[in-house]
Amino acid sequence: MNLLLHELRLTLRSRLSAFALVLLAVLAIASVTAGMAEVARQRATIARIQPLQQQDVGAIAQWVTKSKDPGNAAYYTFHATWDSPSNLAFAALGMRDVAPFLLRVRTLGLQAQLYEGETFNPELALPGRFDFAFVLVYLAPLFVIALFHDLMSGEREAGRLRMLEALPGGSRTLWRRRVALKFMLLYAALAIPFVCAALLSHAQATVVLGILLIIAAYLALWVAITLAVVRLQWSSVTNAATLAACWLVLTLVLPTLAHVVINGAIPVNQGVELTLAQRENVHGAWELPRGETMATFYARYPQWRDSPPLPGDFHWKWYFAFHQNGDDSVSEQVAAYRQGLQARDAWTARVGWLLPGVGVQWLMAWLAETDLRAQLTYQDRIHDFHRRLREFYYTYLFDDRPFGEADFAAAPKWQ
């Protein structure tokens, strides 16, 4: 124990080591603070939208009650949906940084509503938000390099190496003690801020333990890489330059190349293209005979086939029918789009076995429920909610039933 305390004093006397440890701790604290602030902002937005949604529906209900037209109720009423962040989302914001976590939908065609907000710049979004996962994957290896690159070369250049190797107990014990101490200090600088934030966020203990194991494994990997270079007995400057090149290749160059290769091998259209295809079909329906539109709709939804015939003038059920036909017309493209995204995600996970930075980011987003799977699950919930909304309003539209103020309360609610 005395030897360990002596090594601790020596480490902290080094300005570079002390500065690196303090800076890493500050960055870790800043990252979890920024993550918690973003999660709090998203939760506040979700909480704020709910009373506003009730006010909006109340105003529309007062207006619709005058005509009791179900078409007006279905067309003008927006229904809020939201995807609440998990308690661990602060650590890895993942898809929540670029994908909507709150969406107001109407009974019209859903596909255009799902993807019309996909306007972020992918080049700006690529680096990701400054969160704990960013600090761990991109910055922590640099601090490992700073503390370990001169582990032996620094002693040799100072003329102390032969004396240290001649100490009782052998040099191996000395180096192991120094490596273990520096590893623990680096781990503490990352793990303590994370655990404090996890406790404040009431994160699940098993998930927190998983993240702590990921931190330890990732740091240990970079320590092993650094020690492999140190054993070559080069100068401290050469060690630092070599390790910096390793960091550049492993965390930036190879992941970028893998991203390009995966995207090239698995082409996926943008969601905005689905929106345009759906809208083209919807707008084209105005030129089609109304009987053809209704026949297409009834073929897919025979439960509404017994609806009274269309009158000579405009009728809402024809309007909503061709909107749903527009959605159905791009169903195969939507399925291909989702399958392409899932295939890319699966290959990214496979690449993570070779590139540790990619694997760590993927794992942390998966544990924090901020990955592609979580985003697609949210979309599936919206699809189900939209289906229930359509079935509710269709009961009034296709049976020509009046829609009063009390009927608004009976509409499906987002859970």
Percent of the chain with pLDDT over 90: 62
pLDDT in tens, 8-23: 676 667 788 889 999 9
Q: Which one of 213, 247, 281 terminates a domain?
A: 247
CA pair distance 41, 50, nearest whole angstrom = 15
* Helix or strand holding residue 136 (H, E): none
Per-residue pLDDT at 119 exceeds 50: no
Choose among 387, 360, 371: nearest CA to 93.
371
Residue 7 belongs to a domain: no
State the Cα–Cα distance between residues 232 and 151, nearest whole angstrom: 12
CB distance 140 to 219 below 8 Å:
yes
Residue in this structure with the two tokens 């949604």, named with its chain if needed:
53
Asked whether residue 101 falls in the same domain as residue 186, the answer is: no
Q: Is position 2 within any domain?
A: no
The pLDDT score that the predictor gives to residue 11 is: 66
pLDDT of 160: 57
Kindly state whether residues 120 and 173 are assigned to the same domain: no
- The 10 Å Cβ neighbour count of residue 361 is 23
Residue 369: pLDDT over 90: yes
Reply yes or no on whether the pLDDT at 153 is more than 80.
no
Instruction: Clarify whether residues 381 and 283 are in a common domain.
Output: yes
Question: If you average pLDDT over residues 270-284, what whole number do you get?
Answer: 82
What mean pLDDT is predicted for residues 245-252? Answer: 95
Q: How far is CA 227 from CA 95, 150, 173, 224, 291, in A?
A: 35, 10, 15, 5, 76
Domain presence at residue 260: no
> Looking at this protein, which amino acid is placed at residue 257?
L
Average pLDDT over the chain, rounded to whole?
88
For residues 353 and 404, state if they share a domain: yes
Q: What pLDDT does residue 162 have?
A: 57
Q: What is the mean pLDDT of residues 155-159?
A: 52
Q: Are residues 179 and 118 in the same domain?
A: no
Whether residue 107 is predicted with pLDDT greater than 50 in this model: the reply is yes
- 120 with 147: CB under 8 angstroms? no
| CA 310 to chain centroid | 46
Reported as a pLDDT band with limits 50, 70 and 90, residue 37 is: very high
Q: Centre a 10 Å sphere on the Cβ of residue 185 and count the other Cβ atoms it contains.
A: 20
What is the extent of the structural domain holding 356?
30-130+266-409
Q: What average pLDDT does range 96-116 have in this prediction?
A: 87
pLDDT for res 166: 55
The residues, ordered by sequence, that sit 6+ positions from 207 with a Cβ below 8 Å of its Cβ are 88, 367, 368
Question: Closest Cα partner for 307 from 79, 70, 107, 108?
Answer: 70
Residue 372 lies in a domain: yes
Q: How confident is the model at residue 170 (pLDDT cuts 50, 70, 90)?
A: low
**Average pLDDT value for residue range 157-178:** 61
Which residues, including other chains, have CB under 8 Å from residue 286's CB and lie 6 or more apart? 322
Nearest Cα residue to 202 out of 54, 65, 46, 39: 39
Instruction: Please indicate, yes or no, if residue 400 is contained in any of the structural domains.
Output: yes
Of residues 405 and 31, which shows the higher confidence score? 31
The reply to whether 25 falls in a domain is no
pLDDT at 203 (0 to 100): 94
Same domain, 126 and 139: no
Whole-number pLDDT of residue 104: 93
Closest Cα partner for 412 from 389, 386, 395? Answer: 389
**Confidence bin at 124 (pLDDT 50/70/90):** very low
On whether both 113 and 243 belong to a single domain, the answer is: no
Statement to judge: residues 180 and 48 lie in one domain = no
Residues near 394 by Cβ (< 8 Å), separated by ≥ 6?
Answer: 304, 317, 320
Residue 152 has pLDDT above 80, yes or no: no
* Of 222, 142, 151, 140, residue with least CA distance to 7: 151
Q: Say what angle helices 254-265 and 331-351 make with each other, to 10 degrees.
A: 150
Residue 323: its pLDDT value, please? 92
The stretch 169-179 carries a mean pLDDT of 71
Q: Tell me whether residue 79 is in a domain.
A: yes
Average pLDDT for residues 52-67, to the nearest whole number? 89
The band of 121, judged by pLDDT with boundaries at 50, 70 and 90, is: very low
Residue 12 lies in a domain: no
Q: Is the separation of the CB atoms in 190 and 140 below 8 Å?
A: yes
User: Could you tell me if 119 and 138 lie in one domain?
Assistant: no
- pLDDT at residue 221, rounded to an integer: 96
Same domain, 272 and 200: no
Please determine, for residue 7, whether its predicted confidence score (pLDDT) is greater than 80: no
User: For the chain, what is the domain count?
Assistant: 2
Do 238 and 275 lie in a common domain? no
Six token digits for residue 221: 């990997």
pLDDT tens-digit map of 317-362: 999 999 999 999 888 999 999 999 999 999 999 999 999 999 999 9
pLDDT at 235: 86
Q: Residue 310: helix, strand or coil by DSSP? A: coil
Do 62 and 144 reside in the same domain of the chain?
A: no
Local confidence band at 415 (pLDDT 50, 70, 90 cut-offs): confident
